[in-house]
Amino acid sequence: MMGAALSRWTMAYFAAALLFLVAAQGLMVAGYGFPADPVEAPESLLLVHMVTIGWLSLLMCGALFQFVPVLVARPLLGARLVLPALIVLLAGLVCLLCGFLQLAGVIDPPLSPLGPAGVLLPTGFALVVGVLGATLWAGRPLPLPARFVTAGLASLVVAALLGALFALQLSGFATFGIDWRGAALPTHVSAGFGGWLTLTAVGVSYRLLPMFMLSPDKARLSGHAVLWCGVAAMVLMVIVAPFEAAFGGPGVAAPLAGLAVVAAIVFYGADLVFFYRNRKRRKIELNSRSAIGAFAGLYLSALLIAILALTGSLAGQAPAALYLVAFGWLSGLGLSQLYKIVPFLTWLECYGPVMGKTPTPRVQDLVSERRDGVWFLLYFAGVLAGTGALLAGQTGLFRLAAAATLAATLALVVELVLARRLFNVQGSLRLPAGTTQPRLFLPAPR
């Protein structure tokens, strides 16, 4: 990693993603969208896509542009398309959000913005998949983490295409006869949450955890089992289940997918325990400690979904389960790893050119773990409280819990900004000769 080229626009992706996360949490605190409004209401759809596309997908894309070249030991192919992809994705997301505002009666444009959104978003994701896919193809045979990413990108294609069809149909520009509230919606959610976001997050964790904790990173049989069980679950939910719904099949796809997911998370848990127990870095840094909260969110989500399915209440309580997946597992992992990735990339950008020539600070000197641990505790406590409030139907309590997660997120964003500004580095180590202050989120001019 020390010799890898820095992705010029990764910080811009991170900045945009964090902006959408804070905005979405602010809307939750204000009582906008679910649970104050029905889950299928335009207000709720706006909130959901701010989180899934604006926050989680932009975060994942930015991280992959930096780490896929590390995974395959190849330079990023088509790097000039990274900025256009960001611009097109942001334009498409703005159109999508404006389209939901139109459906909610907030704005009244002459033409539906959902039409352009249905073109721009898949175009932006196509650029992302093209750049990352070409880099992965050049790096064959792929190591295990890169195979997870490949499966995640394939799921992204499905989720983006379905989302585009939904947007075009809602806009009135085209009619495909798809009931976006019916059988197609579980496919869209499964491909997005289960395939694109979760499989990719798991794959990235197989590289980041060993790298940051100095754990053995040789692929184990259990890791391959996680991959194949996850892929099997996606095939069942994205391909087999729609065919069953369309042609009146026996309805075994969803239960089999559930069993595959259970097997995957069991094997994944075994690998997580292995990484933490066999680390060479005896003192666990805050990013790895806080990641335990995200992993707890994953397993609590699985347990909650299983209980709701067995009691026949999954349909009614699905938003609570998805909230725990989105904010406990995926957002928790994203924030915990950003806490390390941002200082790490900042260190490489600022001190990498003079490494070995002059004294430099450590990566962990760019942050204050003693000060910041409380923010992760507040964040995960807020997520748990928010999930409980959704399950109990307590809208007011949910808003209070969302306020706690918003406060924690804002504090962590401030800490990331301080890390970029080298605020915690004191004395002559801050900017020794030959170094320059990194820009906040834009790349340095060439």
> Alpha-carbon distance 257 to 234, whole Å?
7
Q: What is the pLDDT of residue 305?
A: 94
Q: What is the pLDDT of residue 386?
A: 98
Q: What is the pLDDT of residue 180?
A: 61
Residue 46 lies in a domain: no
Structure-token match 């939901």, residue found: 100
Residue 300 lies in a domain: no
DSSP assigned state of 356: T
Amino acid at 307: I
Instruction: Using pLDDT thresholds of 50, 70 and 90, give the confidence band for residue 249.
Output: confident
Q: Residue 26: is its pLDDT beyond 50?
A: yes
Bond before 35 cis per omega within 30 degrees: yes
DSSP assigned state of 190: I
User: Which long-range contacts (C-beta less than 8 Å, at least 24 apart) are formed by 348-354?
Assistant: 348/2, 348/6, 349/6, 349/438, 349/444, 350/422, 350/431, 350/435, 350/436, 350/437, 350/438, 351/432, 351/435, 352/2, 353/434, 353/435, 354/432, 354/433, 354/434, 354/435
Alpha helices per DSSP H over 30-110:
42-49, 58-72, 82-103
Tens-place pLDDT, residues 53-74: 999 999 999 999 999 999 999 9
Residue 393 lies in a domain: yes
- State the total domains in the chain: 1
Residue 384 lies in a domain: yes
Chain-centre distance for alpha carbon 357? 37
Percent of the chain topping pLDDT 70: 97
Q: What count of other Cβ atoms lies within 10 Å of the Cβ of residue 305?
A: 20
Give the contacts of 323 (CB within 8 A, at least 6 positions apart).
383, 386, 387, 390
Residue 38 lies in a domain: no
> Left if phi > 0, otherwise alpha if psi is -120 to 50, otherwise beta: which for 105?
left
Instruction: Using pLDDT thresholds of 50, 70 and 90, give the confidence band for residue 176.
Output: low
Q: What is the pLDDT of residue 179?
A: 64
CB 305 within 8 A of CB 263: no
Classify each residue of 221-237 as buried b or exposed e, where b means 16 or more C-beta atoms within 10 Å of its C-beta: eebebbbbbbbbbbbbb
Residue 432 lies in a domain: yes
CA distances (Å), origin 412, targets 298, 364, 415: 21, 15, 5
Q: Residue 1: is its pLDDT beyond 80?
A: no
**What is the pTM for the complete model shown?**
0.96
Residue 322 lies in a domain: yes
Tens-place pLDDT, residues 106-148: 999 988 999 999 999 999 999 999 999 999 999 999 999 999 9
Instruction: Using pLDDT thresholds of 50, 70 and 90, give the confidence band for residue 3.
Output: very low
The number of residues in the chain equals 446
- On average, the pLDDT of the chain sits at 93
User: Which has the closest alpha carbon to 114: 130, 131, 101?
Assistant: 101
Q: Measure CA of the first residue to CA of the last residue in the chain; give whole Å.
A: 22
Q: What is the pLDDT of residue 14?
A: 98
Residue 94 lies in a domain: no
> Alpha-carbon distance 131 to 208, whole Å?
21
Tokens of 93: 């997301």
Q: Residue 427: is its pLDDT beyond 90?
A: no
Q: Is 31 exposed, middle or buried (0-12, 13-18, 19+ CB in 10 A)?
A: middle
> Alpha-carbon distance 15 to 9, whole Å?
10
User: Which has the closest alpha carbon to 11: 376, 349, 364?
Assistant: 349
Domain around 427 = 309-439
CA distances (Å), origin 320, targets 34, 60, 138: 10, 23, 41
Tens-place pLDDT, residues 184-204: 888 999 999 999 999 999 999
